[in-house]
Amino acid sequence: MRSSGVLVSVIIPVYNNQKGLRRTLQAISNQEFDKEQFEVIVVDNGSTDSPGLVAKEFGVIFLEENSFLNSPYSARNRGLEIAKGEIICLLDTTCAPVRDWLTKAIGCFQTNKHLSLVGGGVKFDIKEGESVAKYYDSLFNIRMKAAILERNAAKTTNLFIKKEVFESIGFFPEGLRSGGDLRWTMKATKSGFKLGFCEEAMALMTPRGFGALVKKQFRVAKGQPRVWREEGTFLPNFIKRFLLFWIPPNPIAIRNEINASQNYFMHKSIIKLIVLGSLLRAVNAAGILIGLFKK
């Protein structure tokens, strides 16, 4: 252990989500983990709703990302610059960890000593009567387990990383709006660091409404061409997305996702999910086309 005595540094970027930040910090304050063994660093990415007041309410470290890059990865980098923990946890303000979240994550590292990165489980907090956009978000976004097992990469939604990984390969690229987490974790695993999945280190995630979902889809799509080029998979991925643009979502695939989520009340909304999925495919196509011309 480092001389600071801090085992885990939890870094949370925030942008105009005071309500979400309060929910996240409340869940962290309820952890059964020894509070002397972790610190929480909130990094404001240019908010106008005063997240510093919420950070002060919970007595956590508060920073401002003042480079005006409007990038969640730059915000995380500011937190990394002062983090004292041996293990860095990257968490979003849309997440509320369960009570044994830190205990389970650290236990996973202790049990699997070869691991340098661990993605925690992400479960959407979705209820009957929510909007179709929230249904869709809960079914098709933040597939942590699939990303880890199929791509050997992970999102920064609920991700634990030994500090030595950052010391070896560096921080996130500055100024990116999306795709930086997959790019960075792929770089880490290609450098020989092992990535694993820990379902029990669970965070409950708030699904996005329609406007936020469209913005997210467009932003992520813009970053995809760059990720594909770095993976060496640009052509097959581009062709696949081009073809998908003309084909509506498969109702059988949607039904399977609903069954896997065990939120069976969504079956009544399959037609609406197909319509929304078609719209989002158009949004993705527009984002990809713009991303083709970005470095």
| Residue 12 host element (H or E) | strand 8-14
Closest by CA to 117, choosing from 41, 184, 45, is 184
**Chain position carrying tokens 């050997």:** 152
**142, 249, 266 from 202: Cα distances, Å:** 13, 29, 23
Beta bridge partners of 101: none
Q: Cα(288)–Cα(254) distance, rounded to whole angstroms? A: 23
Could you tell me the strand order of the sheet in which 158-162 lies? 61-64, 38-44, 8-14, 87-91, 158-162, 115-124, 194-205, 95-97
Span(s) in the chain for CATH 3.90.550.10: 8-208
Q: Cα(58)–Cα(65) distance, rounded to whole angstroms? A: 20
Q: Cα(177)–Cα(216) distance, rounded to whole angstroms? A: 10
**Chain position carrying tokens 């049990």:** 111
From first to last of the 295 residues of the chain, give the pLDDT tens digit.
Answer: 333 467 999 999 999 999 999 999 999 999 999 999 999 999 999 899 999 999 999 999 999 877 666 789 999 999 999 999 999 999 999 999 999 999 999 999 999 999 999 999 999 999 999 999 999 999 998 889 989 999 899 999 999 999 999 999 999 988 887 778 888 999 999 999 999 999 999 999 999 999 999 998 898 888 778 778 877 888 888 888 888 888 889 999 999 999 988 999 999 999 999 999 999 999 989 999 898 887 5
Is 207:124 a contact under the CB 8 Å cutoff? Answer: yes
β 95-97/38-44 pair status: unpaired
- What predicted TM-score, i.e. pTM, was given to this entire model? 0.87
> Which residues, at least 6 apart from 282, have a Cβ–Cβ distance to it below 8 Å?
245
Query: Phi first, then psi: what are they for 27, rounded to 5°?
Result: -65, -40
**Chain position carrying tokens 């509506």:** 248
Closest by CA to 178, choosing from 126, 215, 230, is 215
Pinpoint the alpha helices (H) of the chain.
Answer: 18-29, 51-58, 72-82, 101-111, 132-140, 144-151, 163-169, 180-190, 210-231, 234-245, 251-261, 270-291
pLDDT of residue 252: 95
pLDDT of residue 295: 59
Q: Cα(37)–Cα(229) distance, rounded to whole angstroms? A: 40
Is 82:11 a contact under the CB 8 Å cutoff? Answer: no
pLDDT of residue 1: 33
Q: Cα(71)–Cα(217) distance, rounded to whole angstroms? A: 16
How many of the other CB atoms lie within 10 Å of CB of 16?
Answer: 16
> Which residues, at least 6 apart from 163, have a Cβ–Cβ distance to it below 8 Å?
83, 85, 86, 87, 88
Does domain 8-208 correspond to CATH entry 2.40.30.160? no
